Amino acid sequence: MALAAIAAALLGRDFMGAQARNPVRVPCELVHEMFYVRASVNGSAPLWLNLDTGASHSVVDPTVAKTLHLQEGGGGDASGIGRGQGTRFGRVSGATIQIADAVLPNQMLLTLSMNYLASSIGHVTDGSLGSNIFANYVVRTDYLRRKVSFFDPSSFEPPRTALSMPLTLRDNMPYIDAAIKLPDGTSARGTFLIDSGMIGAAVSINDWFLNEHPELSSIRSLEMPPVQVVGGTFRYRLCRLQSLSIGQYTLDEPIAVLPDLASGVDTDRTIIGTIGADALSRFTDTFDYTGRRLFLTANKQVHLPFETDMSGLKLTTEPPLFDRFLVDGVTSGSPADQAGIRDGDVIAAIDGHPASGLTLERIQYEFQQLNGVHHLIVERSGKQLRVDLKLRRLV
């Protein structure tokens, strides 16, 4: 999940002095539908920062800030969708961010631990690029070609064939109008946050909307193992909605998050919910904050079925090598549960291949393939167990 709103006192505009050629092709990698961009801070060696429309500020991990001798000012507790554990942040003023030929001087950064994200993604995560990037540039994310481009807003020309949608900015984060179809066949239209940092689902529904539409409880849903996010522990269920409509596009049977004991943006009564990367990745997305527009160009994935994990395994991995895969949760009644896999087990091999030679992204991709059968070697208490994992749709 993304950072969501941080502290309201930090949301003032300090965006100034953007310099770049037009357009800038940004060095990046796409991991779990999350873009990681190569960037430097104050002339540092290249860092890996994920691109996150749901982050109110750009962020660097405290260990990175210490290595770069960045001077932290006052801080506080970051608000997020998690509960039960405060996440401390600090502030760094006057930083210069450089991404290829794009240079942003005099930026405020937050310092916030990125360990939770690195371990769940399996990629070096030195920080996040948030709203100050989008406020200074028109940003285009092309999921199909795995490309990110920055444009100078003053000379930007909108893509001619794209769907143009009004974009509302609030606390430096983007919102659009969209609709979901309810179980009785009626549509509920309203405002949704656009969060490119929300992965694993197409949409999340806020708790107030769930309370006012109890018919949504009739949808078969699955309680998932809790995850660690900003603010603490996030507990949730997954389900399939009938559809999500964005402009002229209708995305059928999207995977949706239903939060339990919601916090942060999930309690915002002014929005129905959040649209995440599983939906955004069906398009080339062009964010024009200056013009208050979002341009969507459908790619060939726009009508592909939405899928999620079919094993019941919640896996994490450990930086810096990301070559050890720990079972951090097992969904009750899932193939993994029925195969006897437990919390704390380590996946040592899959189909005869040592897990150390795989990536978390690759493993999770394989575990989303319908009717797949995988032969696992699992380590537990110094012993190796052989397990057959027969995948099936859980949602």
Q: Which of 134, 126, 269 is nearest to 196 (CA)?
A: 134
Pairwise CA distance, residues 374 & 364, whole Å: 12
Residues 6+ apart with CB under 8 A from 66: none
Residue 195 CB: number of other CB atoms within 10 A? 26
Residue 363 host element (H or E): helix 360-366
Residues 6+ apart with CB under 8 A from 129: 37, 39, 49, 50, 51, 52, 55, 58, 97, 99
Residue 116 CB: number of other CB atoms within 10 A? 20
Domains of the chain in start order, with CATH, are 8-151 (2.40.70.10), 163-298 (2.40.70.10), 313-390 (2.30.42.10)
Q: Which of 351, 334, 304 is nearest to 395 (CA)?
A: 334
pTM exceeds 0.85 for this model: yes
pLDDT of residue 89 exceeding 70, the answer is: yes
Pairwise CA distance, residues 144 & 158, whole Å: 19
User: Which residue type is seen at 373?
Assistant: V
Residues 6+ apart with CB under 8 A from 145: none
Q: Helix, strand, or coil here: 107?
A: strand
Q: What is the pLDDT of residues 274-289, one digit of tens each?
A: 999 999 999 999 999 9
Q: What is the pLDDT of residues 25-46, one digit of tens each?
A: 999 999 999 999 999 999 999 9
Average pLDDT in the chain: 90
- Quickly list H helices, 44-198: 62-67, 115-121, 131-136
Q: What are phi and psi of 357, to 5 degrees?
A: -95, 5
Q: Please check whether residue 311 is in contact with residue 364, taking contact to mean a CB–CB distance below 8 angstroms.
A: no
Mean pLDDT of 244-257: 98
Pairwise CA distance, residues 178 & 199, whole Å: 19
Listed in order, strand segments (DSSP E) in 66-220 are 76-78, 83-84, 87-99, 102-111, 127-129, 138-142, 147-151, 163-166, 168-170, 173-181, 187-194, 203-205
Q: What is the pLDDT of residues 90-134, one digit of tens each?
A: 999 999 999 999 999 999 999 999 998 999 999 999 999 999 999
Q: What is the pLDDT of residues 326-371, one digit of tens each?
A: 999 999 999 999 999 999 999 999 999 999 999 999 999 999 999 9
Q: Which of 330, 305, 344, 316 is nearest to 389 (CA)?
A: 330
pLDDT at 231: 65
pLDDT at 14: 37
pLDDT at 152: 95
Residue holding tokens 């030679």? 357
Residue 346 CB: number of other CB atoms within 10 A? 15
